[in-house]
Chains A and B, each alone.
Chain A
Amino acid sequence: MPKMIFMFPIMVLLVFPWAASYEISNLNLSVIDNDHSRMSHQLVEAITASGYFKITNVSNGYNDALKSIEKNESDLIIEIPQHFEKDITTGTGVKVMISANAVNGMKGSVGMTYISGIISNFNQSNLSKQFPQGAKNGLMPIQIDEQYRFNKHLNYQVFMVPALMVMILTLVCGFFPAASIVFEKELGTMEQMNVTPVPKFTFIIAKLIPYWIVGIIAISIGIIIAWLVYGLIPAGHFYVLYGFTIVYVFGISGLGIIISNYAHTMQQAFFIVFFFMMIFIMLSGLYTPVQSMPEWAQWIAAFNPLKHLTDVMRAIYLKGSGFGGLMKELIVLVLFAVFFNTWAVISYRKTQ
């Protein structure tokens, strides 16, 4: 407990200002270069040299690139057409297509702005001087064809609602289990249980099952409100959504039980829960994209189950991803669930 009191201000003031920054960086870029010319390479180099983009994927076709967005491997796609260099040199002008993943509307549009800026800079500094004929008819040699994917209207609610559902699940199914065992400790029923031959595993499972039900009810209410009020319907299948919910609730309530096992009083339990919730929510990508955080904060976020489910929910709602596309997240969440619950069973002591 005294440790927590020291940790809390340290975490809040040292971690969050970095993690909760609104500056967008480290955008993942998928490149489709159909020209493979000197000039197309120059353009790609100019983009990476800006420091905002990382090339994470080089695809041969648009569909491949789109898949990398579905898997959350890239945020933007740039497609350089064939005869790129030739068309510039002859002054015909050329269109470069840029698609942004607008699931996170802010990230998508900021990425788009950056890349447009870089390209217009490239136009002016490199090309206009070399090929003045292109600028004659008032057109820049390279023009941009902007496309937003998965959230065409850049609607912020579409982005927030699925993430808020995750927050609801976390609060309901993480907070209450944390109170459950401590409450029984204070009541005295815990001692009565400890003096029975009930196996530890059975006891913990019995404690978890109600939260499964509660979690499913909570998410169902969320889905209904998202539909009635915001007109949002998941693009993916419901069974994927519920499948992930069950795995997640299992994990997060396991964490609640662990806290409950260690805490001696309700106050202690609530303080610890509050501490975790702060970190989980700040580092979940709910408000600011995790990718734009410093690398060490990203590492913390990698161990944040909330972050993974937030990604998953957005993907199901907006991109219609299935278990196949979300396999990595599924494995991670299952591992969390197994880890937390094993710990929960071990940390539950029937004998002092």
Chain B
Amino acid sequence: MTEIIKPSLEKVIVTENLTKKFGHFTAVDHISFEVNRGEIFGFLGANGAGKTTAMRMLCGLSKPTSGEGTVAGFDIHKQPEMVKKNIGYMSQKFSLYDDLKVWENIELFGGIYGMTDNEIKLKTDELMGRLNFESERDNLVKSLPLGFKQKLAFSVSIFHTPKVVFLDEPTGGVDPITRRKFWEMIYEAAASGITVFVTTHYMDEAEYCDRVSIMVDGRIEALDSPANLKEQYNARNMDGVFQQLARKAKRVDS
């Protein structure tokens, strides 16, 4: 791999009282946090806690009702398209084009991010080799097994070397071995300097993060490294921490 970049104090994501309301319902309630460059930042919370809504605001998919935020140095209110140039995004739902081939998907998204044809070709070759994907290159994406699809979706989301990649429950529905491999890819990405912002339901995955925030009812209830959180809540693992915090939730899971 390339040189290992340790999390630096350069702030890649900064939010200040970020809020999103849908009518009378406050999905995200004045959240403030910072994420450093190269960090793996875990974003935890029960269903309906507001994780996805918060993430969508940071990605420029949803307009905040109030509060401030910058991603990769760009204001999410005023420069959403600049934010988009500098991030990668992988949603819960697999969302590459099923009826395009593997290489066509890569070319499409690479092209949208303004990569040159040559750059795309070289990187595609490198990627196919690294993932042992050479035989799948000309296959339609819909014919791939789920584990492959997820690896591909992640690879496409960081193909243009964004400053930050947002992963929304990236490992939903895959087996533990594939999950393990997936996290290896996340580590590699973080080591190359890409900041990783990841939501998850799996508490073992939370342990892999540099820092973790836990959302309850639209607010951030806890934010620290997994080790510190376990000490603070006197729990053996992250699951223990999560259980204690999630019990406070008043919102009924829809």
A-binding segment of B88-96, B121-129, B179-187, B233-241: B88-96
- For A187, the closest partner residue in chain B by CB is B95
Among B84, B93, B97, the residue within 8 A (CB) of A196 is B84
Contact between chains at A197 and B112 (CB < 8 Å): yes
Contact between chains at A194 and B61 (CB < 8 Å): yes
Q: Is the interface of A mostly helix, strand, loop or mixed?
A: loop
Contact between chains at A197 and B85 (CB < 8 Å): yes
- Chain B, range 100-131, C-beta contacts under 8 Å to A: 109, 112-114
Kindly state the interface size class of chain A when it binds its partner. Answer: 10 to 19
User: CB-CB < 8 A to B63: which residues of A?
Assistant: 351-352
Among A187, A189, A197, A350, the residue within 8 A (CB) of B113 is A197
* CB of B196 within 8 Å of the partner chain: no
Given contacts A195-B89, A197-B85, contact A189 B109 (CB under 8 A): no
* CB of B60 within 8 Å of the partner chain: yes
- Chain A, range 308-345, C-beta contacts under 8 Å to B: none
Contact between chains at A195 and B96 (CB < 8 Å): no
CA distance A188 to B89 in the complex (A): 12
- For B92, the closest partner residue in chain A by CB is A188
* CB of A23 within 8 Å of the partner chain: no
**B53-91 CB contact bits vs A (8 Å, 1 = yes)?**
000100111110000000000000000111011010101
CA distance A352 to B96 in the complex (A): 21
* CB of A191 within 8 Å of the partner chain: yes
User: CB-CB < 8 A to B80: which residues of A?
Assistant: 350-351
Contact between chains at A189 and B60 (CB < 8 Å): no
Chain A nearest Cβ from B202, distance in angstroms: 21
- For B80, the closest partner residue in chain A by CB is A351
Contact between chains at A197 and B84 (CB < 8 Å): yes
* CB of A198 within 8 Å of the partner chain: yes
User: CB-CB < 8 A to A352: which residues of B?
Assistant: 56, 61-63
User: CB-CB < 8 A to B81: which residues of A?
Assistant: 197, 350
Given contacts A187-B95, A189-B95, contact A196 B60 (CB under 8 A): no
Most buried by B among A189, A194, A195, A350: A195
Among B91, B109, B112, the residue within 8 A (CB) of A191 is B91
Contact between chains at B61 and A351 (CB < 8 Å): yes
Given contacts A187-B95, A192-B96, contact A198 B112 (CB under 8 A): yes
Chain B nearest Cβ from A197, distance in angstroms: 4
CA distance A187 to B93 in the complex (A): 8
Contact between chains at A188 and B91 (CB < 8 Å): yes
- For A190, the closest partner residue in chain B by CB is B95
User: CB-CB < 8 A to A350: which residues of B?
Assistant: 60-61, 80-81
CA distance A197 to B62 in the complex (A): 15
Given contacts A195-B84, A196-B112, contact A188 B94 (CB under 8 A): yes
Top 8 closest A-B pairs, CB basis?
A188-B93, A188-B95, A192-B95, A195-B89, A197-B85, A197-B84, A196-B112, A198-B112
By a beta-carbon cutoff of 8 Å, the part of chain A in contact with chain B is 187-189, 191-192, 194-198, 350-352
Given contacts A191-B61, A191-B91, A196-B109, 7 further A-B contacts (CB under 8 A): A188-B91, A189-B95, A191-B93, A191-B95, A192-B96, A351-B60, A351-B80
